[in-house]
Amino acid sequence: MAFQLPALPYAFTALEPHIDARTMEIHHDKHHAAYTNNLNNAIAGTEWESKTIEEILANVSKISMPVRNNGGGFYNHNLFWEIMGPNGGGAPTGDLMAAIETHLGGWEKFKESFSNAATTRFGSGWAWLIVTPDKKLAVTSTPNQDNTLMDIADVKGTPILGLDVWEHAYYLNYQNRRPDYISAFFNVINWDVVTAKFNSAMK
């Protein structure tokens, strides 16, 4: 069963003015579609065809660069669309906020370290908020389409929030102003979805 490009769970215009409709359309319909197709082509006829994306990512060092790049691209964008939304922004509450206070020094400190991870990722990549194997929150970043589920990752864990800092994610609207895109991102984070991912990763 080939991997399917998921439908965007809201309209291309839904995240405006923070992320413009044209960027969303190209990003989902062209970039994410290409990662999905290329992943399917790269695993066609191999043992990995019948595995979950998580199983593939956990073994990616044994497979191939096309699977690492496109499997990462497939998974990362699935997560990215999910954790944003038109009624996003604000701050989390409950156990997630308590964990941010305990493990990351509080809300302001978290925003600073996440933004810093996204700003300082040289070239293309992602910033992440993850739950580590010992059930702590951590902020990290990865190059290209790598992520923290991959066996090759320096810092491993379950991503619950991710920010795409490839230029294709922001260039039409923000050009070279990556920091402006990063601060705008905080207005579209769907903390209900991130909280559900946190709760599931903590089990």
Q: In angstroms, what is the minimal distance from the CB of 73 to Mn ion?
A: 7
Q: In angstroms, what is the minimal distance from the CB of 81 to Mn ion?
A: 10
Residues contacting 20, CB < 8 A, separation 6+: 172, 173
What's the CA gap between 169 and 102, in Å, rounded? 31
User: How many binding residues for Mn ion (CB under 5 A)?
Assistant: 3
Interface residue with Mn ion among 60, 164, 165, 198 (CB under 5 A) is 164
- Of the two residues 146 and 164, which places its CB atom closer to Mn ion in the complex? 164
Burial class (CB in 10 A: 0-12, 13-18, 19+), 152: exposed
Residue pair 80/162 in contact by the 8 Å Cβ criterion = yes
What's the CA gap between 53 and 75, in Å, rounded? 7
- Applying CB under 5 A, which part among 103-111, 136-144, 145-153, 159-167 lies near Mn ion? 159-167
- Applying CB under 5 A, which part among 39-47, 88-96, 138-146, 158-166 lies near Mn ion? 158-166
- Applying CB under 5 A, which part among 3-11, 34-42, 117-125, 169-177 lies near Mn ion? 169-177
Which residue's Cβ lies closest to Mn ion? 164
Beta-strand ranges (E) seen in 39-184 are 125-131, 137-143, 158-164
Burial class (CB in 10 A: 0-12, 13-18, 19+), 141: buried
Task: Decide if residue 146 touches Mn ion (CB under 5 A).
Answer: no
Q: In angstroms, what is the minimal distance from the CB of 164 to Mn ion?
A: 4
- Applying CB under 5 A, which part among 5-13, 39-47, 110-118, 167-175 lies near Mn ion? 167-175
Of the candidates 141, 119, 30, the one whose C-alpha atom is nearest the C-alpha of residue 77 is: 30
- Of the two residues 84 and 169, which places its CB atom closer to Mn ion in the complex? 169
Beta-strand ranges (E) seen in 43-99 are none
x-marked contacts with Mn ion along 87-126 as a string, rule CB under 5 A: ----------------------------------------
- Of the two residues 131 and 164, which places its CB atom closer to Mn ion in the complex? 164
Residue pair 134/157 in contact by the 8 Å Cβ criterion = no
Kindly list the residues in this chain that would bind Mn ion in the complex (CB under 5 A).
164, 166, 169
